[in-house]
Structure 1
């Protein structure tokens, strides 16, 4: 019988060795090695995390916060290195989403037979 944890660690290793992860890592390092890009990216991430935390705690996000976040996103998207990082992150997230669908297929099939 297959040890699921061993398979999970093999999958982690495969992700680390994938082109998608390698491209993401390269893009991340490019941003981190550029002081202005790094500062913009950190500001973007801090804003994103703060809004997520506020939303998860049930607090209302103000129109002012939405406008500020929109401005930050627009600014970040104009920076080539950060834009590339976001694209590479999105590519890897798509792959991980597809993997998630594959590994949850047994559950989906099991529950789809229940009527």
Structure 2
């Protein structure tokens, strides 16, 4: 029987060699060089984490919470290093979605009655 954890660990190593991963890493490194843009990016991440915590605790978002996140998002729209990072995140995310579909196919096959044994 195959050890899927070994396969997953190898896939994680392989992922780091992909162009999408390398592009994301380079975009993030470039963002960190722009101290103003990086500080804004960190504020946005912090606000997202705060809202996720609220959501996990079953709390409602206030109008101020939503406005604060939207304001940060607006500020980030015109900052080139952040836009580049977001584009590279999207490319990596697309690849990850495709990989997830491939990995999930045997499970989908069970429900379709087309699973291979």
Counterpart in 2 of 1:21? 21
Counterpart in 2 of 1:11? 11
Provide the C-alpha distance between the structure 2 equivalents of 1:47 and 1:22, rounded to a whole number of angstroms: 27
> TM-score of the superposition, structure 2-length normalised?
0.90
Structure 2 residues not aligned, in runs of 5+: none
Number of residue pairs aligned between Structure 1 and Structure 2? 114
Q: Deviations over 1:14-34 (max 9, x none)?
A: 210000000000000011122
CA RMSD of aligned residues (A): 1.5
In the TM superposition, residue 3 of structure 1 has moved relative to its aligned partner by 2.9
> TM-score of the superposition, structure 1-length normalised?
0.91
Provide the C-alpha distance between the structure 2 equivalents of 1:22 and 1:6, rounded to a whole number of angstroms: 23
In the TM superposition, residue 67 of structure 1 has moved relative to its aligned partner by 1.2
